[in-house]
Amino acid sequence: MRQRLIPALWVLTAMICSACARQAAPVPEKEEVLRLMKAVADHQIAHPTGHSSANRDFPMGWVPASFYTGVMALYESSGDEKYLQQALNWAESNAWQPGPRLRHADDHACGQIYLELSALVPEQADITAIRAVYDSLMADPLPGRVDWWWCDALYMSPPTLARLAAVTGEKKYLNYMHDMFWDTVHFLFDREAGLMYRDEQYFYSRTASGQKVFWARGNGWTMAGIVRILQYLPEKDKKRIWYENLLLSLSASIVPLQGDDGLWRASLLDAAEYPAPESSSTGFISYALAWGVNQGLLDRDLYSPVIFRAWQGLVSAVHEDGMLGWVQPIGKSPDAVTFDDTQAYGAGAFVLAASEILKMIGPMEQDRK
């Protein structure tokens, strides 16, 4: 098992052990996980989130793209062709185009789906436009903290670049990604808390009780983005260990902040500020933790109770019709949320988490036999 703990993580590891001891959660049944994946995805497909010009969202924008990252994972998990076709239909309805803003990472997220489809159905896919975006940006580069100035961007654009490098075989896209990603992390990472600020306006913000402001979904975006980079980053890449160590660090910092119900709160260091649970952050965090366990990067015995407790919490957020509740609306900071709030990115996060939890269950079932 590959485990690389940077020195500062040893104290945090003890905190994780304490958090894990709170309450064990049962190992979920594989069939039930897959059923819920389909139920949540099918509800979102039948009830697509509307697009808002106020939030600069587009048919190919970050909101639907975040959902379709989950749809692709559901196709991989289930082998059900209808999900592959659904993703193809969406890409074709967008004419395989990115969003209209050249430099905005949100408008690049759709490229993850286009590039994954190009590996599955190359005769139907068209990656010309998304490739042209990055060629244009590389011809006129700006620092990561300028173009990717908010931590959500680390889910939207870097994983697209990692996939583009894998599809084209051109390392220049990885070099560009490395430079941009790490400049952003060095700008937004708080070493004391071991967490990511959403953007620089929160460097000196404090909650009413005096805590630093760290947004749960922003940190979930970052953790999930790292995972989606590592899935396509060559094992021999010298910077791979940098991403792995950042995932280790964020994981160790965020686990002790999990609620007793398995769900994280919108304001990580001040749960009382917005005490309602938040499911989209929980989905992305669980996805990253489960992937880390499945890859041998995170300790299975240490993290499995956290992940299964999170899954239990996520299941409690699913309405009878498959709608995922407790999804904080579009925003940039911790805010209030209700059981009836839902968004496409929440459904995407739920399905991504379930796809990795399915992989965790397999070896455990073998151990029980």
Q: Is 123 exposed, middle or buried (0-12, 13-18, 19+ CB in 10 A)?
A: exposed
Cα separation, 156 vs 168, in Å, equals: 19
Q: What band does 16 get if pLDDT is binned at 50, 70 and 90? A: low
Cα separation, 231 vs 185, in Å, equals: 19
- Answer whether residue 369 shows pLDDT above 50: no
Of 93, 105, 155, 150, residue with least CA distance to 130: 105
106 three-class SS:
helix
Catalytic positions, written as ranges: 152
**Under 8 Å between Cβ of 305 and 287:** no
Which region holds residue 5: left if phi is over 0, alpha if psi is between -120 and 50, else beta?
A: beta
**Under 8 Å between Cβ of 222 and 188:** no
Q: What is the mean pLDDT of residues 229-251?
A: 98
Q: Where are the domains of the chain?
A: 9-368
- Answer whether residue 2 shows pLDDT above 50: no
Tell me the CATH number of domain 9-368, given options 3.20.20.80, 3.40.50.740, 2.40.50.140, 1.50.10.10: 1.50.10.10
- Tell me the residue type at 236: K
Q: What band does 25 get if pLDDT is binned at 50, 70 and 90? A: confident
Q: What band does 268 get if pLDDT is binned at 50, 70 and 90? A: very high
38 three-class SS:
helix
Measure CA 239 to chain center. Answer: 20
Which residues share a beta bridge with 116? none
Measure CA 194 to chain center. Answer: 18
How high is the pLDDT of residue 22?
60
pTM here? 0.93
Distances from the Cα of 306 to the Cα of 2, 143, 255, 323, 356, angstroms: 20, 36, 7, 24, 14
| 43-73 tens-digit pLDDT | 999 998 765 554 556 899 999 999 999 999 9
